[in-house]
């Protein structure tokens, strides 16, 4: 009997990579998809036929119970949320409904319908907000600084509470920024790799950026979803930081991306205050000792390799569309 997995947020970056990973391991994969969603299925169109789509919504408890009853999953991965931080300020209640209460509904549905299913909750480094230590560990205090981070903190603690109270196999993975060619160009990593490719192909002349000294802990999304899967294969449920464990600046990123296409970044990049953030958090960087020691996970892709693979992808994609 193949294992069965139910993924919420199937159409997102992580959901699509996780579905690919689980299919390659012989799982039967079910994806919970919002019926009202406007059909953003570009990331999973290549999987159609292999993944069974179930209609449901984190806002509706019955639909979650029905999806679990229909799929009888061994593993459930909750990758769905309202995850756009600026929107969490303009729609804080909706963010809480999806990102916080949605997880309550899911946990309660698991408890009632399939209490032996293993559960992965996507926590985020946004729960740390302005942390009082760097790097952060699984024991660093949460000080979220936006409604999204607050909602993720609630979901994190509810998952732990359900584990303690009801003995569910429920885990939280605290992921830091993770990137891939499926990432949107509003995020600085993709913005830079795409711009380097466009300039190389003569499709653009310049790139405007904000704070070049900002630093992030960037990891490859495929590495991150592998960690999620590993967490559910362990004997004991637990919570882990999933990160690269190192930071790089936007300046290093831009230099590396332009090197990949054989150009000098200083000839093309200018700083535009419009892209500056008013309130940059202290350095967010994850300590990955726990996941490394207990699960044997570490990221495969280095920072340079990740930049290279994204620039290569953007060059190919843009060349094809040009042709
Ligand atoms: P997130 O803030 O981690 O969700 O990811 P982003 O990719 O949007 O931003 C990463 C960092 O890059 C932030 O510290 C920004 O201040 C910095 N940054 C510098 N220039 C830019 C830019 O042009 N666009 C964006 N999005 N971020 C920039």
pLDDT tens for residues 79-130? Answer: 999 888 889 999 999 999 999 999 999 999 999 999 999 999 999 999 999 8
Q: Does residue 74 sit in the same domain as residue 10?
A: yes
Question: Which uninterrupted H or E stretch holds 197?
Answer: helix 188-200
Which residues lie with the beta carbon below 6 Å from any ligand 1 atom? Answer: 177, 187-189, 191, 209-211, 214, 216, 250, 275, 277, 280
Q: Which residue's CA lies nearest to atom 24 of ligand 1?
A: 188
Q: What is the mean pLDDT of residues 5-19?
A: 96
The Cα 84–Cα 195 span in angstroms is 22
Give the ligand 1 atom nearest the CA of 214: 14
CATH classification of the domain holding 133: 3.40.50.720
Q: What is the mean pLDDT of residues 297-309?
A: 97
Give the ligand 1 atom nearest the CA of 85: 4
For position 46, what pLDDT does the model report? 85
Answer whether residue 293 is part of any domain. no
DSSP 99: I
Distance 58 CA to ligand 1 centre (A): 29
pLDDT tens digits, residue range 28-39?
Answer: 999 999 876 555
CATH classification of the domain holding 257: 3.90.25.10
Q: Does residue 130 sit in the same domain as residue 276?
A: no
Distance 212 CA to ligand 1 centre (A): 9
For position 36, what pLDDT does the model report? 64
Q: Does residue 227 sit in the same domain as residue 85?
A: yes
Q: Does residue 25 sit in the same domain as residue 144?
A: yes
Answer whether residue 295 is part of any domain. no
Q: Does residue 158 sit in the same domain as residue 34?
A: yes
Distance 237 CA to ligand 1 centre (A): 33
Long-range CB contact pairs, 17-20, < 8 A, 24+: 17/180, 17/182, 17/221, 17/222, 17/225, 18/77, 18/79, 18/225, 18/228, 18/229, 19/44, 19/47, 19/50, 19/51, 20/47
Give the ligand 1 atom nearest the CA of 276: 16
Rounded percentage of the chain residues whose pLDDT exceeds 90: 87
HSE, side-chain direction, 13 A CA sphere, residue 22: 32
Query: By residue range, what is the domain housing residue 26?
Result: 4-178+221-242
> Is the separation of the CB atoms in 126 and 85 below 8 Å?
yes
Q: Does residue 59 sit in the same domain as residue 90?
A: yes
DSSP 100: I
Q: Which residue's CA lies nearest to atom 25 of ligand 1?
A: 188
**How many domains would you assign to the chain?**
2
Catalytic residue among 176, 220, 226, 240: 176
Q: What is the mean pLDDT of residues 168-173?
A: 98
Here the tokens at position 277 are: 């953030």
176 is catalytic: yes
For position 323, what pLDDT does the model report? 74
Here the tokens at position 127 are: 């729960």
Average pLDDT over all residues of the chain? 94
Q: Does residue 191 sit in the same domain as residue 312?
A: yes
Answer whether residue 265 is part of any domain. yes
């Amino acid at each position: 009997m193949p294992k069965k997995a139910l993924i919420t947020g199937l159409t997102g970056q992580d959901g699509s990579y996780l579905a690919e990973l689980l299919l390659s391991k012989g799982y039967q994969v079910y994806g919970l998809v919002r019926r009202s969603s406007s059909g953003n299925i570009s990331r999973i169109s290549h999987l159609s036929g292999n993944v069974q789509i179930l209609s449901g919504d984190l806002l509706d408890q019955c639909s979650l119970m029905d999806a679990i009853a229909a799929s009888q999953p061994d593993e459930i991965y909750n990758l769905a949320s309202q995850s756009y931080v600026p929107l969490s300020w303009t729609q804080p209640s909706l963010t809480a409904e999806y990102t916080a209460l949605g997880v309550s509904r899911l946990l309660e549905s698991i408890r009632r319908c399939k209490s032996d299913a293993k559960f992965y909750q996507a926590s985020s480094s946004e729960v740390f907000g302005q942390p009082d230590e760097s790097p952060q560990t699984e024991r660093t205090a949460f000080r979220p600084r936006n409604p999204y981070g607050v909602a993720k903190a609630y979901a994190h603690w509810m998952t732990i509470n359900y584990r303690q109270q009801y003995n569910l196999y429920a885990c939280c993975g605290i992921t830091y920024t993770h990137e891939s060619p499926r990432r949107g160009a509003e995020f600085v990593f993709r913005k830079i790799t795409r711009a380097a490719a466009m300039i190389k192909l003569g499709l653009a002349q310049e790139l405007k950026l904000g704070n070049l000294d900002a630093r992030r802990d960037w990891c490859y999304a495929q590495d991150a979803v592998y960690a999620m899967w590993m967490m559910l294969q362990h004997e004991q449920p637990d919570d882990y930081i999933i990160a690269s464990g190192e930071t790089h600046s936007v300046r290093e990123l831009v230099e590396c991306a332009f090197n990949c296409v054989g150009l000098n970044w200083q000839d093309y990049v200018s700083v535009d205050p419009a892209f500056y953030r008013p309130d940059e958090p202290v350095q967010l960087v994850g300590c990955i000792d726990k996941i490394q020691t207990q699960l044997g996970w570490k990221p495969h892709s280095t920072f340079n390799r990740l930049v290279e693979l994204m620039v290569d992808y953007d060059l190919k994609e843009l060349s094809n569309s040009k042709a």
